[in-house]
Structure 1
Amino acid sequence: MRQDTDATTGSGSPPDAAEIAQLLAAGAAAPSSHNTQPWRLRWHDGAVEVHGDPDRALAAADPDGRELRMACGAALANVRLTVRAQGRRAHVQLLPEPEEPWFFGRVRPGAALPPTGWEVELAAAIPRRHTDRHPFSGRPISAALREQLGRAAWRERCRLVLVDGSEQRRQLRELTAEAHRRQRADPAFVAEWERWIGHSDRVDDGLPHPRARHEPRPDDAWRLRDFAGTIAADERFPGEDPVEDEPTIAVVASYDDTRLAHVQAGQAMEQVLLTATARGLASSFVASPLEVATTRVQVRALLGGVLWPQMVLRLGRGRSVHPTPRRADTGD
């Protein structure tokens, strides 16, 4: 499937070595479950190719590879934005070779075309986007910004559903807690979790200690997976109790639940996250209710039964955080 930012083709000066390195680094900065970075990025025949890395698949948390495909979609979105920021058209093909199930897309730089100011802003947000597992301040997100976040998903043929109603939020919190309990009771999930999470010797992937903690705070509704223990005094917002974390909750959803839809949802997710970053918002993921099949079905029903939920996002005003580690061997 071709997804060009502009249908016009033409010749232009190809990227030099430094620009190619910038494209690959942008792709490698995408988010992924457990920070597994499950992609192989390479420059081949004048294009950046994004392949999935089966050795980094999560058999317990992501048995059908949906989140892996979303991560590769996010990497494609970053590469495409960086091509545009470099002043070239970006010609994108998703699932370009159906006989290669791990080949999710290529981005080919084309003729010269100045980027828009917004494309430059989004590309600049790529290295600043980090998953923030701290509590948020509780300051509301404006209606204008919520609309802008929704448009970011819409441009990628997806929807961003804001979970606003108190009853909807209550049900989603309960489903999140139920999914978390089921996963923590699954020995395969726990073993996989402990492979990737909390190891001081993981320097380029996973979530090293102390960035990850294994048990939730008993009074925390949304951050069940990653936060436990005490909140240091310097992590608190003046005049606010960060434990009472009531972030904006949004669901990236697609119209289908196919391999292509998962890649597109990953692109939409990254566009939303970069828009949030560019506008000063922090973000993190609430993955568990969509990783357990039964609770995912219930989340879909909660959204009306038409859209397929692909990722639950937690958005709000946070603190600056350090980036998760990145591996150097992302290429072939």
Structure 2
Amino acid sequence: MTATHLDPDTVIQLVGDAVTAPSMHNAQPWKFVFHAGSGGLALYGDPERAMKRTDPNHRSLHLGCAAALFNLRVSAAWIGLPVRVQLLPDDAEPWLFATVTIDETAGADHELASLHDAVRRRHTSRYPFSEEPVPTALLDGLWAAAHVEGCRLTVPDTWHIDTVLGLVRDAEHREEIDPLARAETAAWTSPTQDASGTRSDGIPAAAFGPKVSGGRTPVRDFGWANPIPDRGWAVFEKRPQLALLSTPGDTRADWLRAGQAMERVLLQATADGLATSMTSHPLEWPELRWTVRDPVAAMGHVQMVFRLGYGPTGPDTPRRPLTEVLEIRE
């Protein structure tokens, strides 16, 4: 594909793939603006969709928007369209996270293009995984996926897995006794409907998964906020296989790199036949976040906790219509 400027039809295709990205509570806190005259595409964060209690500095909001940006890069590579991404291009516009333009000097990125099939197959799975270990070769590939985006992926030792699981439980307890945090979770897991009769954001009940029967797991239980009759129980894996994504620093630019690395890891895992889920629960409490890192590893700042394994894929979760997330200007 040869072009010097993006066109509306192409932008619609790119953004359609972009918005399948994960975000905290499936809030989908992104806004794309296409400037038809210049052919440039801009990605903004939407502060109206921020978690004011559990994400007050908007770290998770940045991660979600950056995951959508990575999907857009994959989509562009798949149609043979090299693009240039500039992060945080204007200090005067703090909610402008990135701009995307065609890069006439770049060649095709076959590695990115190969991930396109996974973009719409990736779903968060809050179901039990088997005890089958993830092969080292696949973990090495996920490490490489994070590394190419400027981040680090670490597989914690057994003792540190126990520490992380304990911190998840601690974070759950903190949320349960914090009325603002409880209200926030309840708001994004309620079945409130829009004019069409369905909700286009949030975590639907079908995606909660079963309740945990014994043991500890890093799967976030959204069911306590909005209980579901006959939801059911299940035994989860005894030793969850975790991976920690970290960055050297903890700036907004680090968060945007981490979000792209997060999605690259998730798409690579999906392409490799793995089921995945994530938790940011202990990362949402400053008192706990620092403890998530491995003190004997040069990990920097942990941005996400992955759970990897073999098991059922999660269900589709709703997505906002493109008319809400994409604006085309002359």
The one-letter code of the counterpart of 1:299 is V
1:95-120 Cα shifts (integer Å, max 9, x gaps): 01111111110121233866454322
Counterpart-to-counterpart distance in 2, 1:151 and 1:263:
18
For the pair 1:40 / 2:31, whether they are aligned, the reply is yes
SS in 2 for 1:40: strand
Report what 1:174 is aligned to: 166
> Given the alignment, which residue of 19, 25, 45 partners 2:16?
25
Q: Which moved more, 1:57-66 or 1:209-218?
A: 209-218
Under a length normalisation based on structure 1, what TM-score does the superposition of the two structures give?
Answer: 0.87
> 1:258-269 maps to which residues of 2 (within 5 A)?
258-269=251-262
The one-letter code of the counterpart of 1:166 is T
For the pair 1:206 / 2:199, whether they are aligned, the reply is no
Instruction: Say whether the 8 Å CA contact 2:6–2:40 is kept in structure 1.
Output: no
Instruction: Say whether the 8 Å CA contact 1:250–1:312 is kept in structure 2.
Output: yes
Alignment RMSD (CA, Å): 2.2
Counterpart-to-counterpart distance in 2, 1:117 and 1:94:
22
> Given the alignment, which residue of 131, 148, 158 partners 1:138?
131
Counterpart-to-counterpart distance in 2, 1:114 and 1:264:
22
Counterpart-to-counterpart distance in 2, 1:61 and 1:214:
24
SS in 2 for 1:128: coil
Displacement of 1:59 in angstroms is 0.6
> Given the alignment, which residue of 176, 179, 187 partners 2:179?
187
Displacement of 1:15 in angstroms is 4.2
Instruction: Say whether the 8 Å CA contact 1:216–1:227 is kept in structure 2.
Output: no
- Mark the runs of 5 or more structure 1 residues left unpaired by the alignment: 1-10, 233-241
Instruction: Say whether the 8 Å CA contact 2:212–2:233 is kept in structure 1.
Output: no
Identity of aligned residues (%): 35
1:8-37 Cα shifts (integer Å, max 9, x gaps): xxx735444432211111221111000000
> Given the alignment, which residue of 273, 276, 283 partners 2:269?
276
Counterpart-to-counterpart distance in 2, 1:272 and 1:75:
13
> 1:216-295 maps to which residues of 2 (within 5 A)?
217-226=213-222, 229-231=231-233, 242-295=235-288
Displacement of 1:43 in angstroms is 1.7
Counterpart-to-counterpart distance in 1, 2:16 and 2:181:
30
Displacement of 1:215 in angstroms is 7.1
Runs of 4+ residues over 6 Å off in structure 1? none
Q: Which moved more, 1:299-308 or 1:320-329?
A: 299-308
Under a length normalisation based on structure 2, what TM-score does the superposition of the two structures give?
Answer: 0.88
Counterpart-to-counterpart distance in 2, 1:43 and 1:262:
23
> Given the alignment, which residue of 300, 310, 315 partners 1:307?
300
- The size of the alignment, in residue pairs, is 312
- Mark the runs of 5 or more structure 2 residues left unpaired by the alignment: 225-230
Displacement of 1:302 in angstroms is 4.0
1:174-193 Cα shifts (integer Å, max 9, x gaps): 11111111111110000011
Q: Which moved more, 1:312-321 or 1:286-295?
A: 312-321
1:115-140 Cα shifts (integer Å, max 9, x gaps): 45432221221111111111112221
Instruction: Say whether the 8 Å CA contact 1:51–1:105 is kept in structure 2.
Output: yes
Change in Cα spacing, 1:58 to 1:87, as seen in structure 2 (3 Å) is same
Counterpart-to-counterpart distance in 2, 1:101 and 1:322:
34
